[in-house]
Structure 1
Amino acid sequence: MSNVGPTANSGPVWRRIPSGIWALGFVSLLMDVSSEMIHALLPVYLVVGLGATALTVGIIEGIAEATASITKIFSGALSDRIGRRKELAALGYGLAAVTKPIFPLAPTVGWLVTARFVDRIGKGIRGAPRDALVADISPPELRGASFGLRQSLDTVGAFLGPLLAIGLMWLFADDFVSVFWVAVIPAFLAFGLIVFAVREPRRQEGLRQVRNPLSRRELALLGTTYWWVVAVAAVFTLARFSEAFLILRAEGTGLPLMLVPAVLVVMNVAYALSAYPAGALSDRMDRVTILVIGLGLLIAADLVLALAPGLLGIACGVVLWGLHMGFTQGLLATLIADAAPAELRGTAFGMFNLITGIALLAASVIAGALWDGVGPQGTFLAGAAFSVLTIIGLYPLRRRLNARKGG
């Protein structure tokens, strides 16, 4: 499959996005089907099946995502040093595929922690090189749409996975292990697709060769605008802790066990439907304005989840949470691609993911501690407070971005 698609300024935006972006999107879709089939059931399996606490869930989720983020900095830097992205991305997808069978084989919490840890190492290896590859393939005038499309396809997998989990939980009479075995299949399909359907573009002529991407000198070359984007994203990450707490909130309100994965289905439908339009819109207007809208949606989600009674209120909060993801996640990646030099994109995405991963670890532990100590209301109200702080930090970032365009 060729990565070169039509880029003339005519026809629908989605038709002008290079085919390589579509292929990477479907790779993400398949891997997310696999991962989310497991992720949708894992928090309840830990609490109900193995007797873990909400704090334990928060620590496991935080460690898992932080592990992925730490790995991304090294894989991203290595992709800059060798000047290639695809091999590392394929390695990460392959590792995630071969470790999926650990989940159905795990007899204790310790084994599940190990499974999440190894699976997230695979995610970490592929993450930064894949995002840099998206930036390398996409034309600058379609960058927001390209990241939005990949995010939307990724998120389609994220709601198909829980839907399959619901159906399979019914089919297998609430047998978690059988569902985990089925989740192995799409992971291997994703690995095959990236190996055979994605081609890496030639390296741009004139790009500087990077010998030590993680040196102080190279990190300084990322620029102050890049580091400001990272700082704002870190505070924002404190506001958007693991979606495991959305699942626990719904289960605690009386949602039947078999329907618990529907929480992620509803959230990811809203996410998938909004990510591509938000990304395409960001190519035509101010990206920071769209981020502010996304943060407003997160504040509304937190308030609803904290204060609204009953399952209908929880459903509204989950939809708002999904919309905020669609308006922010692809856009943050686009801002990183905009701000970083082309030869340091892997390092830029890796460092971004490292810092936000550390913030996610802190966010998940804080959320779990508040949940156990104060209750769900304290967790979600704290998220709203961090969202307000992020909005405050966006206004200096807007000035820096405008000054960069003017320069």
Structure 2
Amino acid sequence: MPSAAPHHDLADAAWRPRGNVLALAVVSFLTDASSEIIAPLLPLFLVGTLGSSVRMVGVIEGAAEAVAALLKVASGWWSDRVARRKPLIVAGYALASLVRPLVAVAQTGGQVLAIRLTDRVGKGIRGAPRDALLAASVPARQRGRAFGFHRAADHAGAVVGPLVALACLQWAGMPVRDVFWVAAVPGALAVLVAAVWVRERPLETPPRPVAPRPAAAPLPRDFWRSMAPIVLFTLGNSTDAFLLLRASQLGVSTALIPLLWVVLHLVKSAASTPGGALSDTVGRRPLLIAGWMLYAAVYAGFALATAEWHAWALFATYGVVFGLTEGTEKALVADLVPAGRRGTAFGWYHGVVGVAALPASVLFGAVWDGWSASTAFGMGATVALAAAAWMAATGSAPPQQQREPVAL
């Protein structure tokens, strides 16, 4: 029987998203369209309308991500345990889509915090199972491309969302609170797609025995070695809400803030699939190091910026960072962990990164309030360079090569 190996290059060149890869991409597109109708307006809404401090913006965003992170650890482990991903994915998207538009009725920063925390609970429930299901739906040699495509769709939704917000504000003359209600529509569509078109993917393990299963093997050592510099990078990677506040400082008007957000996500979307595919070719770690060094340069630019056009240029460059790193990090996690443990691994990945986001955002906001925006951005650039050096020092371990059937 002839081997299929000679056709791998041709198959990879002709790769097209389908099955779960396409369905999960559509779900993420719609969810981000919903979320990003609100996101670019939220920091200005908190500071300008509700009278919250910059530090409070950091607390809200950092705490929200930390809650999501802790739940991702549990949901990832549970999805491995029960060998089912889809119920957690659908439940997570449904909860977030239900509560997200309630920002429209918030009267205090504390109420926004409660809404954001609940929204992120939904994200925490769905995140690790979704990534594990996506990893199981493609062969290893296409993993970076699949994760990159998923991030591209996510960011494409983040292009549509701010454009909808801009149209509502500029052309329809809607108040900001009314714009927030519009986010309910794509959110509901995302839940529908997840419930109908996402397919369960059986784990590559035998069915659970009747007797209690033995304790699971620990995650590989190289997984934890790779996580350490990722966590360090996250400690300097505060919420992007601060970039919007910095853009406002540099002279970008409130009406144009959604358009600035669109520019960022256009670049993210355009760069994510090529970036993920590049990681399949040159390796995960080299691409992460390059992305983190570019991140440091962008944050240094925000520290030194003095004109409105600087904000536009820096936001566009910042989008390239995501293209190089987001899909690459997730593909690295999938490379280092056996299929039956990926839900747990993605849970820990999202968990430790999300928990680190809380002190990162709180510290960034405190430094901004206590010293200056330039000092805070300079701090972020320094931490990113340290993380890149640490990742380089970890070396490059070969990824796991596993024969995994593909769900079409």
The TM-score normalised by the length of structure 1 is: 0.92
How far off its partner does 1:403 sit?
9.0
* Structure 1 residues 70 and 212: alpha-carbon distance in aligned structure 2, compared to 1, 3 A threshold: farther
Deviations 1:353-399 (A, max 9, x none): 11111111111011101111111101111111011111111123324
- For residue 287 of structure 2, what is the aligned residue in structure 1? 290
* Structure 1 residues 364 and 173: alpha-carbon distance in aligned structure 2, compared to 1, 3 A threshold: same
How far off its partner does 1:211 sit?
10
How far off its partner does 1:289 sit?
1.2
Residue segments in structure 1 that go unaligned for 5+ positions in a row: 1-6
* Structure 1 residues 403 and 90: alpha-carbon distance in aligned structure 2, compared to 1, 3 A threshold: closer
How far off its partner does 1:209 sit?
7.3
* Structure 1 residues 208 and 332: alpha-carbon distance in aligned structure 2, compared to 1, 3 A threshold: farther
Moved more, 307-316 or 7-16: 7-16
- For residue 151 of structure 1, what is the aligned residue in structure 2? 151
Moved more, 303-312 or 144-153: 303-312
Confirm or deny that 1:268 pairs with 2:235.
no
Q: 1:241 is matched by which residue type in structure 2?
A: S
Give me the whole-angstrom Cα distance separating, in 1, the residues matched to 2:110 and 2:279: 43
* Structure 1 residues 138 and 211: alpha-carbon distance in aligned structure 2, compared to 1, 3 A threshold: farther
How far off its partner does 1:174 sit?
5.8
Residues 103 and 180, structure 2, Cα contact 8 Å, conserved in 1: yes
- For residue 304 of structure 1, what is the aligned residue in structure 2? 301
Give me the whole-angstrom Cα distance separating, in 1, the residues matched to 2:43 and 2:14: 36
Moved more, 99-108 or 250-259: 99-108
Give me the whole-angstrom Cα distance separating, in 2, the residues matched to 1:21 and 1:91: 19
How far off its partner does 1:19 sit?
2.5
Confirm or deny that 1:354 pairs with 2:354.
no
- For residue 3 of structure 2, what is the aligned residue in structure 1? none
Moved more, 30-39 or 98-107: 98-107
Q: 2:112 is matched by which residue type in structure 1?
A: L
Give me the whole-angstrom Cα distance separating, in 1, the residues matched to 2:261 and 2:399: 40
Q: 2:204 is matched by which residue type in structure 1?
A: Q
Alignment of 1:99-248 (within 5 A): 99-173=99-173, 175-206=175-206, 218=216, 221-248=218-245
How far off its partner does 1:347 sit?
0.9
Give me the whole-angstrom Cα distance separating, in 2, the residues matched to 1:120 and 1:366: 21
* Structure 1 residues 288 and 208: alpha-carbon distance in aligned structure 2, compared to 1, 3 A threshold: farther
How far off its partner does 1:202 sit?
2.8
Moved more, 191-200 or 168-177: 168-177
Deviations 1:329-360 (A, max 9, x none): 11111111111121111111111111111111
Q: 1:52 is matched by which residue type in structure 2?
A: S
Structure 1: 4+ residue segments shifted above 6 A = 207-213
Moved more, 326-335 or 312-321: 312-321
Residues 27 and 191, structure 2, Cα contact 8 Å, conserved in 1: yes
Give me the whole-angstrom Cα distance separating, in 2, the residues matched to 1:332 and 1:210: 36
* Structure 1 residues 376 and 24: alpha-carbon distance in aligned structure 2, compared to 1, 3 A threshold: same
> SS state of the match for residue 342, structure 2?
helix
Confirm or deny that 1:337 pairs with 2:328.
no
Deviations 1:98-140 (A, max 9, x none): 1123211222222211110111100110101000111111111
* Structure 1 residues 276 and 104: alpha-carbon distance in aligned structure 2, compared to 1, 3 A threshold: same
Q: 2:343 is matched by which residue type in structure 1?
A: G
How far off its partner does 1:145 sit?
0.3
Moved more, 388-397 or 244-253: 388-397
> SS state of the match for residue 68, structure 2?
helix
Give me the whole-angstrom Cα distance separating, in 1, the residues matched to 2:160 and 2:211: 42
How far off its partner does 1:262 sit?
2.3
How far off its partner does 1:172 sit?
4.4
Q: 1:20 is matched by which residue type in structure 2?
A: N
Confirm or deny that 1:253 pairs with 2:250.
yes
- For residue 275 of structure 2, what is the aligned residue in structure 1? 278
Q: 1:58 is matched by which residue type in structure 2?
A: G
> SS state of the match for residue 365, structure 1?
helix
> SS state of the match for residue 10, structure 2?
coil
Residues 62 and 365, structure 1, Cα contact 8 Å, conserved in 2: yes
Residues 103 and 112, structure 2, Cα contact 8 Å, conserved in 1: yes
Deviations 1:17-39 (A, max 9, x none): 44210110110010000011111
Residue segments in structure 2 that go unaligned for 5+ positions in a row: 1-6, 402-408
* Structure 1 residues 271 and 403: alpha-carbon distance in aligned structure 2, compared to 1, 3 A threshold: closer
* Structure 1 residues 70 and 16: alpha-carbon distance in aligned structure 2, compared to 1, 3 A threshold: same
Residues 81 and 212, structure 1, Cα contact 8 Å, conserved in 2: no
Q: 2:334 is matched by which residue type in structure 1?
A: A
- For residue 315 of structure 1, what is the aligned residue in structure 2? 312
How far off its partner does 1:239 sit?
2.4
- For residue 95 of structure 2, what is the aligned residue in structure 1? 95
RMSD of aligned Cα (Å)? 2.2
> SS state of the match for residue 35, structure 1?
helix
Q: Percent identity?
A: 37
Confirm or deny that 1:370 pairs with 2:338.
no
How far off its partner does 1:244 sit?
0.1
Residues 148 and 272, structure 2, Cα contact 8 Å, conserved in 1: yes
Q: 2:147 is matched by which residue type in structure 1?
A: F
How far off its partner does 1:305 sit?
0.8
Q: 1:341 is matched by which residue type in structure 2?
A: P
Residues 80 and 210, structure 1, Cα contact 8 Å, conserved in 2: no
* Structure 1 residues 340 and 249: alpha-carbon distance in aligned structure 2, compared to 1, 3 A threshold: same
Give me the whole-angstrom Cα distance separating, in 2, the residues matched to 1:235 and 1:159: 29
Residues 336 and 399, structure 2, Cα contact 8 Å, conserved in 1: no
Q: How many residue pairs end up in the alignment?
A: 395
- For residue 20 of structure 2, what is the aligned residue in structure 1? 20
Give me the whole-angstrom Cα distance separating, in 1, the residues matched to 2:137 and 2:210: 20
